[in-house]
Amino acid sequence: MKKIKSVILERHQHNISRRDIDRDALDVLYRLNDRGFTACLVGGAVRDLLLERRPKDFDISTTARPNQIRRLFKNCFLIGRRFRLAHIRFGQKIIECSTFRKQPEPVDATNEEESSLYLHHDNAYGTPKQDALRRDFTINGLFYDIDSFKVIDYVGGLKDLKKKRVCTIGDPDIRFCEDPVRMLRAIKFAARMGFTIERCTWKSILSNHSEIMKSSTARLYEEMQKFFVYGGGAASIRLMNKSGLLADLMPGVSSYLSRSRDKGELFWRCLDALDDCNRDEQAPNVALMYGAMCYPMLVEEGDRRYGKKARINQLGMAQKILKDLSPTLRMPLRTFHQVAHMLNAQHRLDSWDKERFSKEHFVRQVSFLDADALHDIILVANGREVPKKKPWLDLYHECGIKEQGEQARPVRRRRRRRRRRPDAGEK
């Protein structure tokens, strides 16, 4: 990595104000600073504040060690095995606080006992500059010092923010092989903020995209959910398709887009409609996200099987599409069935007055409201207006009022009496 000169922005040279920082995060920063520790706001919070966006998380790095942080905050608990992190809880909110660390030195393991010591060697504390150099992207390597109110840049992040580009810190081939999920993070940041991916970083993604299969399924599933925050889902999937990551993670979607006659126009319209519903910092419903992606494939499969005939039950088709969609992501079973029932409910909503079925039983299903939300997305994607009055929602509210008025009696289970074993003298 070429040597980069550090850049420091004084208080009057940047737009970050303490009014925009979460109050609880400020309290943590001030308490650490008052006890003589260096404390900085780090990562995405500094990036978003400089871009005048509302940060989703406020992460803090400090010179204090994990046990010292725990002694300062009664509402603190430590997590992590390879590197200890302090989570400071304020109600449902958690402020993550970490100690400045550096890239661990390689250890020559001569036997099995020494090879297991990597857990301890990864717990290597360092300076703020060393901590910045071990992060993933330059735009995430910015620090805001609460003591001097300065923005400190050790990795060239301010320059990349100005140029609106995503660039790795160091050699992208090495960084992506260390953690392949960083390729998804690069795509997420570029799509969410409208940035471009730096040329060398993009070439590295094109050549190393197959490495993503080495990542844990839990992390992949979690990272995919973050694509649709701030309405960047469609752009993220487009970049995944261009880079080859979509074929690795979602072969079902990739094959559909490659064989679709209209080049997947309905698919992209569904994702655009979903993005319009998620322009804030809240992540969309996971089932709704997968439902919007699967619906165009369900239409294609239905046309192939039935043509223009009536489709009475599409549950089997929906389940097959979901199984082929993401064998790598390992969708939870509950979400799998929820999405399948949402897709199966669409033909009932389209023919509410024409089809005869138990409507009251239908609206009592757990996935009913999600199915209604997916129906709105499909209507927008097809260029139709969402009706202001929906008879199924009226029936849903009527059933809800009935359930609230009825007081369910608690079921009292009869306690089984255990048979007393006879003593030795009674035998």
**According to the model, what pLDDT value does residue 71 have?**
93
b or e along 113-143 (b: 16 or more beta carbons within 10 Å of the residue's beta carbon)?
eeeeeeeeeebeebebeebbbbbbbbbbbbb
- Parse the chain into domains and list their residue ranges: 1-105+122-163, 248-401
- The catalytic residues are 57, 59, 136
pLDDT of residue 191: 93
Confidence (pLDDT) at 409: 44
Q: Which CATH superfamily is domain 1-105+122-163 in?
A: Beta Polymerase, domain 2 (3.30.460.10)
Token duo for residue 179: 């953690």
Question: pLDDT value at position 412?
Answer: 52
CB 193 within 8 A of CB 41: no
Question: Which residues of the chain, if any, have pLDDT below 70?
Answer: 1-3, 104-123, 279-284, 308-313, 326, 353-356, 400-427
Task: Note whether 307 and 326 are within 8 A (CB).
Answer: no
Q: What is the pLDDT of residue 320?
A: 86
For residue 116, the model assigns a pLDDT of: 38
pTM of the model: 0.82
Torsion of CA 349, 353, 359, 360, to 10 degrees: 110
Asked whether 97 and 69 are in contact (CB, 8 A), the reply is yes
How many helices (H) and strands (E) the chain has is answered by: 22, 10
Is residue 96 a contact partner of residue 66, using CB atoms and an 8 Å limit?
no
| pLDDT, tens digit, 9 for 90 and up, residues 352-393 | 766 667 777 888 887 888 888 999 999 999 888 888 888 888
Residue 147 is predicted with a pLDDT of: 92
Query: At CA 83, angle to CA 79 and CA 84, rounded to 5?
Result: 35
How far is 71 from 284, CA to CA, in rounded Å? Answer: 37
Neighbours of 63 (CB within 10 A): 17
Instruction: Look at strands 39-42 and 76-79 and give their pairing.
Output: unpaired
pLDDT of residue 1: 55
Give tens-digit pLDDT for 414-423: 566 666 665 5
- What pLDDT shows up at residue 229? 78
